[in-house]
Amino acid sequence: MKKSVIFLSIALFGLVLTSWEWKKAQHPTVQKADVIECLNMETQQAYQLEASTPAFASLHLSPIKVNPNDLMGSMISFDAADGEKANAYFIPAEKKSNKWLIVIQEWWGLNDNIKMEADQYFKDLGDMNVIAVDMYDGKIAATPDSAMKLMRGADMKRMTAIIQGAIKHAGSKANIYSVGWCFGGMWSLQTAILAGPQAKGSVMYYGRPETNMEKLKSIQCDIIGFFGNKDQAPSPAMVDDFEKNMKEAGKNLAVNRYDAGHGFANPSNPSFNAAAKEDAYTKAIAFLKSH
């Protein structure tokens, strides 16, 4: 009888120990929201890693300082999705309008060149609120090294919150359009994804394409892109893959390619290509007006 009790006790102890070890070895449950958050950050983080390298910085020359006269807009603040305040250069439509163009800076920051671009889009589009978001929260770089340092310290979750805040600031009934260059080109496409059914058109100048097929399938507007055949960020091969993926996702993407390098559409950039800039801008305005 004693032997039976001892044997039973040993068996029970072994069962409890095995159960404890099994529970300890299990990974915590992964929530669906965590998976989506991870997917949402992949492209942004890939860009951040690339833009934090000297090789990427070498594609950029320090921008020529511009001194614009009589800028049309003014700086405003709005609530970002993370509960903090965000800033933007804003030009309201002359008459009440539900159309909003979100303008997104290059990796230099919200400098005068971007404000001048916002002014020009406002003049040529007419019935449109134009808001150029400050993705660096007031910081501006004047050299490739300083831009690289800003990018290394950038918080992509904060930037996502700024875009989400701008969309909410426009209102639930707003039609959202977006345009951006390089860093901003990537974020212009991300804005179309974040805006969901409110997105009506997205313009991306040599921005890093999204590669996640589920995100591409979620896009609910047409996209137009302008890329340089001499560019390596993104490279022509990356643009080829973008076209293929968008076609597979069943989305409308118009790709325009130029015999130009990175940053060809920036008038304050020494590598500026006037002919490519003019053609791309004409097509961008026609695209936005048609949508």
Six token digits for residue 167: 């969309």
Rounded Cα–Cα distance for residues 284 and 246 (Å): 19
Cβ atoms of residues 183 and 44 within 8 Å: no
pLDDT, averaged across the chain: 87
Task: Name the percent of the chain lying above pLDDT 90.
Answer: 70
- Mean pLDDT of all residues in 21-43: 44
Sign of CA dihedral 272, 276, 279, 283: negative
Helix residue ranges, H only, the chain:
2-25, 32-51, 54-57, 112-125, 144-152, 156-170, 183-195, 213-218, 236-249, 274-290
pLDDT at 16 over 80: no
Sign of CA dihedral 286, 91, 273, 151: negative
Rounded Cα–Cα distance for residues 184 and 191 (Å): 10
- Mean pLDDT of all residues in 251-277: 91
- Mean pLDDT of all residues in 75-89: 98
Class level of CATH domain 32-290? alpha beta
Cβ atoms of residues 186 and 217 within 8 Å: no
pLDDT at 187 over 80: yes
User: Which position has the higher pLDDT, 54 or 201?
Assistant: 201
Rounded Cα–Cα distance for residues 58 and 189 (Å): 24
- Which of 41-50, 237-246, 263-272 shows the highest mean pLDDT? 237-246
Six token digits for residue 217: 């399938």
pLDDT at 52 over 60: yes
Question: Is the preceding peptide bond at 236 cis, omega within 30 degrees of 0?
Answer: no
Q: What is this structure's pTM?
A: 0.84
pLDDT at 68 over 80: yes
Ordered by start, the domain boundaries in the chain are 32-290
- Centre a 10 Å sphere on the Cβ of residue 291 and count the other Cβ atoms it contains: 15
pLDDT of residue 41: 58
Sign of CA dihedral 70, 96, 131, 254: negative
pLDDT of residue 42: 83
Q: Which of the four pLDDT bands, split at 50, 70 and 90, describes residue 33? A: very low
